[in-house]
Amino acid sequence: MVNVAFGSHGDSGPYHGWVMAYKGSTLQMLGAWNASPNGQGAAIWQSGCGLSADSKGNIYVNTANGDFDLALGGQNAGDSILRLTFNGSAFTVADYFTPFNQQTLASQDNDLGASGLLLIPGTRLGTAASKTGDIYLVNLDRLGHYSASDNSQIVQYLPGAIGNNVTDDNFSTATYFNGSVYYIGQNDNIRQFALSNGLLSTLPIELSANYFGNRGAQAVVSANGTHNGVLWAIECSTGGGNGILHAYDANDVGNELYNTAQANGNRDAFGPAVRFAVPTVINGRVYVGGQNQLAIFGDL
């Protein structure tokens, strides 16, 4: 089954968040789900991150600003983390989590759905971060629903954990490797958090020396099993300048191994980068899609 999600273009209303299911072999449409059927908004954009799915066949989706009345028995699911099940023809909301300040997030354009949900390998935990840089760690089997007073019903809530200033928005979906969770917010360092005994460190254990500007970045880790981990991320330069591909030691992002601005001249330049783009690493090569060209990096 192929699942496709979308919301709006440039927040131009009216719009809804949608998830649509297609048969993989024929692309026949099997079903669709609307995140705000009796309201509006709740777009599914996740800063370009795809939907998440587990081995039980559940689909997880983060929605953005919009109407919310799930706690009152309604069907509108703005600013929520949702677990969806599919019976072959229809989706059902099997579980959800909505922050206590959902209405404030929606009114101030601070989407919870500005990032996707990372399903942390080897656990039944998931993590996402809102545009405000608040990190949520949830139990995938018991998301917690909604409380009007606080977020104590989830595993862990770290308000303002990403960003150096209140205006430093987050658009980053988390990346995981070897007990570390990484976020790269807007105008922020890479923040490496430790996951131990089912909880994240309240402060980063390591920070990159450099900052990532507009929209931050989405990272990916390449490794030989649990060894030789390298975290890759693309920095978008302002004003149309060359993007920069960075490589860091995944065990300590304070140790940068390489970036494409280090070579003399334009040997490694790939032109302006695309926001939210993720490097693809396979067979010893790194593929980077820029605005005007595809660059392939490997050993010389």
Which amino acid would we find at residue 117? L
Number of domains in the chain: 2
Note whether 204 and 62 are same-domain residues. no
Domain boundary among 142, 161, 180: 161
Note whether 118 and 5 are same-domain residues. yes
- The answer to whether residue 164 scores a pLDDT higher than 90 is no
- The answer to whether residue 72 scores a pLDDT higher than 90 is yes
pLDDT of 215: 92
Note whether 2 and 105 are same-domain residues. yes
pLDDT of 19: 98
Note whether 291 and 199 are same-domain residues. yes
Note whether 34 and 100 are same-domain residues. yes
Note whether 22 and 83 are same-domain residues. yes
Q: What percent of the chain has pLDDT over 70?
A: 100
* Cα 204–Cα 208–Cα 209 angle in degrees, nearest 5: 130
Output the CA torsion sign for 249, 255, 257, 258.
Answer: positive
Question: pTM here?
Answer: 0.96
Cα–Cα separations (whole angstroms), residue 197 to 155, 158, 188 = 11, 16, 27
Contact 267, 277 (CB under 8 A): no
Q: Which of 91-100, 162-171, 178-187 has the weakest average pLDDT?
A: 162-171
pLDDT of 57: 93
pLDDT of 240: 75
- The answer to whether residue 239 scores a pLDDT higher than 80 is no
- Output the domain CATH number for residue 295: 2.40.128.630
Mean pLDDT of the 65-70 span: 97
Note whether 31 and 131 are same-domain residues. yes
Query: Which tens digit of pLDDT belongs to each residue from 8-62?
Result: 888 888 999 999 999 999 999 999 999 999 999 999 999 999 999 999 999 999 9
Q: What percent of the chain has pLDDT over 90?
A: 91
The three state secondary structure string of the chain is CEEEEECCCCCCCCCECEEEEECCCCCCEEEEEECCCCCCECCCCHHHCCCEECCCCCEEEECCCECECHHHCCCCECCCEEEEEECCCCEEEEEEEECCCHHHHHHCCCCHHHCCCEECCCCCEEEEECCCCCEEEEECCECCEECCCCCCCCCEEECCCCCCCCCCCCCCCCEEECCEEEEECCCECEEEEEEECCEECCCCCEECCCCECCCCCCEEEEEECCEEEEEEEEECCHHHCCCEEEEEECCEEEEEEEECCCCCCCCCCCCCECCCCCCEEECCEEEEEECCCEEEECCC
Output the CA torsion sign for 278, 51, 142, 74.
Answer: positive
Query: Which tens digit of pLDDT belongs to each residue from 248-274?
Result: 999 999 999 999 999 888 889 999 999
Note whether 245 and 282 are same-domain residues. yes
Domain boundary among 143, 161, 179: 161
Distance, CA of 60 to chain centre: 12
pLDDT of 241: 87
Note whether 294 and 214 are same-domain residues. yes
- The answer to whether residue 237 scores a pLDDT higher than 90 is no
* Cα 16–Cα 17–Cα 20 angle in degrees, nearest 5: 120
Note whether 7 and 123 are same-domain residues. yes
Q: Which of 4-13, 116-125, 187-196 has the weakest average pLDDT?
A: 4-13
Residue 7, domain extent: 1-161
- The answer to whether residue 85 scores a pLDDT higher than 80 is yes
Note whether 127 and 192 are same-domain residues. no
Q: What spatial distance separates the first Cα and last Cα of the chain, rounded to whole Å?
A: 40
Cα–Cα separations (whole angstroms), residue 25 to 55, 140, 142, 204 = 20, 29, 33, 44
Note whether 214 and 149 are same-domain residues. no
Euclidean distance between CA atoms 47 and 114, whole angstroms: 6
pLDDT band with cut points at 50, 70 and 90 for residue 146 = very high
Among candidate residues 222, 284, 233, the one with its CA nearest the CA of residue 258: 233
How high is the mean pLDDT of the chain? 95
Query: What are the two backbone dihedrals, phi and then psi, of residue 66, each rounded to the nearest 5 degrees?
Result: 170, 180
Domain boundary among 161, 194, 229: 161
Euclidean distance between CA atoms 51 and 35, whole angstroms: 14
Contact 198, 167 (CB under 8 A): no
